[in-house]
Amino acid sequence: MAQELAGKVAIITGGASGIGRATVALFIAEGASVVIADIDVARGEALAAELGERAVFCRTDVASREDMRALVDFAISHFGGLHVLFNNAGVSGAMHARFLDDDFADFERVVGINLLSVIIGSQAAGRHMAKHGGGVIINNASIAGVLPGQALNTYRATKAAVIHLSKSIAIDLAEYNIRVIALAPGHIRTPLTSFAPPGVSPETAARVQQEVGAAFDVNQPLKRAGRPEDVAQTVLFLASDRAAQITGVVLPVDGGITAGDPVNH
Ligand code: NAD
């Protein structure tokens, strides 16, 4: 079967772990050249080394305007172009804190990593894509950006903003043949959703993640927590020419969670 992304160049932020890592591996398998952008140098470099010369690591703090611009320039100079940007890096913020307990530094950190990064990256990539026939920008939001709920307030707000931003810039950039799509994953088993308190042993973190994953399995209509690979396959489709008519949407990848209450509807 033909490779879906042969000849394409992609940037994947947060590419060293979880959803980003699974997407990097799938994009490489489908023929793309990929810049893995992450703040975690050890994991990012190790992944690039594992995947061969079409994968390269670029240490990036996505909350930094300078880093994001340098990242886009790096992809273009290293691989000769840029066709796909997956703005995927994200953090939850203080996982267990309630709104009245959260501190301002945490609000700022979450806004910088989850939202400002998407604005800066989309603009830098969009400027290049607009001059070179178009491209695809996929922004990883969350069902938390669709459903309000207790705790993770700043996280929810940034993800809602990413969804609205994606739809708006999809309209703005359509004339350049740039498609912009927001993803809303549900409960995906990754380090982000281990929910282990900071500082616990790796064994405890693994146990907590197992327990949380088991709860995820029952809390959704499909009765299975999502895997990073489920999201990666969706990103592949959206990045490919098969999705050429899809822009300005938010796509849940959530086992049916946002379809409604599985018990009472
Ligand atoms: P993860 O923790 O496994 O991976 C996140 C990656 O982002 C890590 O490699 C981390 O080093 C990187 N990162 C963090 N801060 C960074 C920064 N300042 N600059 C560059 N890289 C940085 O998490 P994941 O679950 O794979 O999450 C990926 C995205 O998916 C996030 O945006 C998250 O909000 C979203 N999401 C995840 C879930 C889920 O259930 N796991 C659900 C909905 C949405």
Query: Can you give the pLDDT at residue 263?
Result: 59
| Angle of the 117-131 helix axis to the 65-79 helix axis, nearest 10 | 30
Residue type at position 201: S
Cβ of 40 less than 6 Å from ligand 1: yes
For residue 216, the ligand 1 atom closest to its alpha carbon is: 40
CB 213 near ligand 1, within 6 Å: no
Q: 180 has which bridge partners? A: 137
What is the rounded distance in angstroms from the CA atom of residue 113 to the CA atom of residue 50?
27
Strand order in the sheet with 250-253: 55-59, 33-38, 9-13, 84-87, 135-140, 178-185, 250-253
Residue from 19, 74, 166, 193 to probe ligand 1 pocket by mutation (most atoms less than 8 Å from CB): 19
Q: Cα of 238 to ligand 1 centre, how many Å?
A: 19
Q: Can you give the pLDDT at residue 197?
A: 74
Burial class (CB in 10 A: 0-12, 13-18, 19+), 184: buried
Claim: this prediction has a pTM higher than 0.80:
yes
pLDDT 10s digits, 149-203: 888 999 999 999 999 999 999 999 999 999 999 999 999 988 888 777 778 888 8
41, two tokens = 């140098």
The pLDDT score that the predictor gives to residue 78 is 98
Cβ–ligand 1 contact at 140 (below 6 Å): yes
**What confidence score (pLDDT) does residue 154 get?**
93
| ipTM confidence score | 0.99
Instruction: Tell me how far the alpha carbon of residue 13 lies from the centroid of ligand 1, in angstroms.
Output: 9
pLDDT in tens, the chain (265 residues): 689 999 999 999 999 999 999 999 999 999 999 999 999 999 999 999 999 999 999 999 999 999 999 999 999 999 999 999 999 999 998 877 788 887 889 999 999 999 999 999 999 999 999 999 999 999 999 999 999 988 899 999 999 999 999 999 999 999 999 999 999 999 998 888 877 777 888 888 888 878 887 888 888 899 999 999 999 999 999 999 999 999 999 999 999 999 987 555 4
Can you name the residues that pair with 55 across neighbouring β-strands?
34
> With contact defined as beta carbons under 8 Å apart, do 251 and 44 qualify?
no
* Predicted local distance difference test score (pLDDT) of residue 32: 98
- Write the DSSP symbol of residue 190: S
Specify the pLDDT at position 262. 59
Q: d(Cα 151, Cα 117) in Å, to the nearest integer?
A: 22
Cβ of residue 197 lying under 6 Å from some atom of ligand 1: no
Query: Position of tokens 């992304």?
Result: 5
